[in-house]
Structure 1
Amino acid sequence: MTYEPGRNRSWLLRLVIAFSFAQAAVSMARPAVSYRALALGADERAVGVIAGVYALLPLFAAVPLGRRTDHGRCAPLLPIGVVLISGGCALSGLAGSLTAMAAWSGVMGLGHLCFVIGAQSIVARQSAPDEQDRNFGHFTIGASLGQLVGPVAAGALIGGPDMAGTSALALLVAAGGCAVAFTSLWRIEFRRTRTDARAAKGPAARVPVHRILRTRGVPGGIFISLAVLSATDILTAYLPVVGEHRGIAPSVIGVLLSLRAGATIACRLVMTPLINWLGRSVLIATTCLLAALLCAGIALPVPVWALGVMLVLLGFCLGVGQPLSMTTVVQAAPPGARSTALALRLTGNRLGQVAAPASAGLIAGVAGTAAPFVMLGGLLLVAATLGFRGAPVERPEGARGTARATTTQAAPAAESTADNGA
């Protein structure tokens, strides 16, 4: 059975459901890992290192997986990702040392990468060019739903005098929740796309990585995605630390993180009219600029209600970057290398997830727990500049029919999880 771009989108709904469960598990596990690490004696630097290891294995695996996806099936990566996420969550909860927690956090990150590469490849292959903004936006709603539910569930379970025990319970529950993704995933797993069948007949010539990275729009899309995901990641990992220092309960922190995720969902539901109103480049640049100011504002010792307002506005602004950077990279990349281009985007994401938490940990240890959010403000400010200057030339309306036909005949195209992102 094959899919046709622009027709039945039940595959997208099933993919969103599966992604919601996988991302909820990750979003529940990330703060739980931070709380468990703190309970086991970790300081701010150690929390940053453990958060960075989550992205270390994916940093080296993304491009090889993207190459393989360009010339083969993408659906098998989905169940592999679910197994690795579930295993990483469960074993993080059972680990008794910070070293073991860091290792299993890396396994969790590798599973999230596998799932996201496979899922993004399916979305890109099954979407015509004029459907990509909408379909990637709907796909990332799955990540936002997971980010909405996960922190609240973590906050409900974690607390009391036995922080190590309750955080371990939250990690085990996250592992079970991720396994539920199989109920929606199996119908996608056993179907082949037309491009899958064509790729099985023989591999196409590889496009060099340096050529992909030199294509206008690809570097800017990668950096924008890196900045937005780093902001989301550090919010998830470091808001619990800020809460500990300001006397905010874990349950309140969970609600605040979920408010941020809910605003991201709202943003993605109105993505199409926003693009029609402002255009993709202006929308990306404006939201990154506003997000930079809001991230810097979190560093201020504001009341909890003001922190909640800032997180809602920040969630709405951060909701733009991920889906539109996917579209930017897919449409800018050379035909036959779109999965690899999206894998390079994910490599940039993971590089940010390694460097940003580690840098945040160092900055927090020296300048205080709020300082990493000032760093994020600077990162998003650079992304706003690239949003104006680094976007590819957008196709005119009349060229969409030709672009649709070219995409249908081209080699396979391929992401936050994920996050995670998301």
Structure 2
Amino acid sequence: MTPELARLILAQVCLHACMAGTRMAAPLLALREGYSPAAVGVLLAMFALTQVFLALPAGRFADRHGLKRPIGYSVMAAVLGAGLAVAFPVFPMLCLAALLTGGATGVAVISLQRHVGRAAAGALQLRRVFSWLSIGPAVSNFIGPFTAGLLIDHAGALPNSTTGYRAAFLLMAVLPLASWLLVRPTRELPPVVVEPGSTPASAWDLLRDPAFRRLMLVNWFLSSCWDVHTFVVPVLGFEKGISASVIGSILGAFAVAAAVIRMVMPLLAAHLREWRVMVGAMLMTAVLFGVYPFMGTALGMGVCSVLLGFALGTVQPMIMSMLHQITPEARHGEALGLRLMAINASSVLMPMLFGTMGAVIGIAGVFWATGAVVGAGARAAWLLKND
């Protein structure tokens, strides 16, 4: 790993941790204030809503302007969003904070992935650099929820005050500032030269490629599993009377497992094939979702969380490697934006669907239904072996 890549990973950690910590603290505050699981589902959906509309424009913006300008705008939005939650810890402001921190993270991810992908040479190096880069969200998904949970439990002067929540949101507002300091020394890559007179193509033309369509479908299946886990663990833990710090630790265990497997992947990159990794991850996830509802203790939930982190942690580097191989260099930003838009459009709808399903068929039904869909979707990943 080069020093520049290490800086970019740390920048991603700080910015993503802001969103991850806010995404853990805001639902718990909403539940404490008496809001229903369905309302919490709406709140969680807000973290993805901005990215649905910003992803494609952000991808084109990154294609034109590179890395630093999109990151700068992302930092400002993330600080504003978490700062509003500090000043006004009420449900409408929590939704606005979700919109801002979620959108900021999406724009930053597109610009970082585009920069790193363009700097890599060849399929093997793509697998390695995206394995390293993917460690960032895994680490931040531990740091954000864990530190937020500790502050919620221990920074409050009174048991029913919002002091602990305000402290958690304040830390989340500070973290993105470090991201900008880390990105500033990075040298921009030369812009991609577009042939004069060429007609700009629509981003939707990328979907005419069967390989790209299958890759997006696999990405959607697996991103839904992350949404299920993020939604169900706080609700299930709250119902069982588990403290905020333990819930944060369960979510953090998932993130640590994903980070560990991603640290190993660069060492094994020469022996990995994208389609095989994706098929294995989907089948393992289907099995784990089948047994997760039977875990009645925090320890059992933690074990399932770790195993699920191992399975899902392998996927993103493989998807990003294949995406950069099957799309033109001049349109990497658009392809990344289209991918992010698709999975976040799902993330807007899925938490609300999970909340409704949980009320009708229970949390176990949400797990089993998602596991069945992911298991059946493994065929799409299998077909990628020929692409």
TM-score for the superposition, normalised by structure 1: 0.84
Offset of 1:47 from its aligned partner?
Answer: 0.3
Q: Distance in 2 between matches of 1:252 and 1:163?
A: 19
SS at match of 2:210: coil
SS at match of 2:344: helix
Runs (4+) off by over 6 Å: none
Query: Which position in structure 2 is the counterpart of 1:257?
Result: 251
Residue of 29, 35, 40 corresponding to 2:22 = 29
Q: Distance in 2 between matches of 1:284 and 1:18?
A: 27
Residue of 178, 190, 194 corresponding to 1:194 = 190
Q: Distance in 1 between matches of 2:161 and 2:22?
A: 14
SS at match of 2:188: coil
Q: Distance in 2 between matches of 1:40 and 1:94?
A: 17
Q: Distance in 1 between matches of 2:161 and 2:278?
A: 40
C-alpha contact (below 8 Å) 2:111/2:333 kept by paired residues:
no
Count of matched residue positions in the alignment of Structure 1 and Structure 2: 382
C-alpha contact (below 8 Å) 1:21/1:181 kept by paired residues:
yes
2:346 corresponds to 1:348: no
C-alpha contact (below 8 Å) 1:263/1:312 kept by paired residues:
yes
The gaps in structure 2 that reach 5 residues or longer are: none
Letter in 1 for 2:21: M
Q: 1:203 to 1:227 in 2, by over 3 A?
A: farther
2:230 corresponds to 1:236: yes
Q: 1:382 to 1:102 in 2, by over 3 A?
A: farther
Letter in 2 for 1:171: F
Query: Which position in structure 2 is the counterpart of 1:139?
Result: 133
Residue of 303, 314, 324 corresponding to 2:308 = 314
Query: Which position in structure 2 is the counterpart of 1:48?
Result: 41
Letter in 1 for 2:178: V
Q: What aligned pairs does 1:62-211 form with structure 2 within 5 A after superposition?
A: 62-130=55-123, 131-159=125-153, 161-162=159-160, 164-188=162-186, 191-195=187-191, 198=193, 205-211=199-205
Q: Deviations over 1:56-99 (max 9, x none)?
A: 12101111221232344233111211221121122123335423
C-alpha contact (below 8 Å) 1:35/1:164 kept by paired residues:
no
SS at match of 1:206: coil
C-alpha contact (below 8 Å) 1:295/1:377 kept by paired residues:
yes
The gaps in structure 1 that reach 5 residues or longer are: 1-7, 394-422
2:287 corresponds to 1:289: no
Query: Which position in structure 1 is the counterpart of 2:212?
Result: 218
C-alpha contact (below 8 Å) 2:51/2:102 kept by paired residues:
yes
Q: 1:308 to 1:386 in 2, by over 3 A?
A: same
Offset of 1:172 from its aligned partner?
Answer: 1.6
Residue of 320, 324, 330 corresponding to 2:318 = 324
Offset of 1:367 from its aligned partner?
Answer: 2.2
Q: Deviations over 1:11-32 (max 9, x none)?
A: 2111001011112221111110
2:39 corresponds to 1:58: no
C-alpha contact (below 8 Å) 2:18/2:101 kept by paired residues:
no
SS at match of 1:194: coil
Q: Distance in 1 between matches of 2:171 and 2:368?
A: 33
C-alpha contact (below 8 Å) 2:45/2:352 kept by paired residues:
yes
Deviates more, 1:25-34 or 1:233-242: 233-242
Query: Which position in structure 2 is the counterpart of 1:386?
Result: 380
Offset of 1:135 from its aligned partner?
Answer: 0.4
C-alpha contact (below 8 Å) 2:68/2:184 kept by paired residues:
no
Q: Distance in 1 between matches of 2:59 and 2:139?
A: 26
C-alpha contact (below 8 Å) 1:222/1:329 kept by paired residues:
no
Offset of 1:204 from its aligned partner?
Answer: 5.7
Q: 1:391 to 1:346 in 2, by over 3 A?
A: farther
Identity of aligned residues (%): 26
Q: Deviations over 1:182-239 (max 9, x none)?
A: 2212112xx321236x46x979642333320121321222222223333223323331
SS at match of 1:124: helix
Q: Distance in 1 between matches of 2:386 and 2:162?
A: 49
Offset of 1:391 from its aligned partner?
Answer: 4.8
Q: Distance in 1 between matches of 2:313 and 2:127?
A: 13
C-alpha contact (below 8 Å) 1:92/1:105 kept by paired residues:
no
Query: Which position in structure 2 is the counterpart of 1:401?
Result: none
C-alpha contact (below 8 Å) 1:230/1:353 kept by paired residues:
yes
C-alpha contact (below 8 Å) 2:129/2:266 kept by paired residues:
no
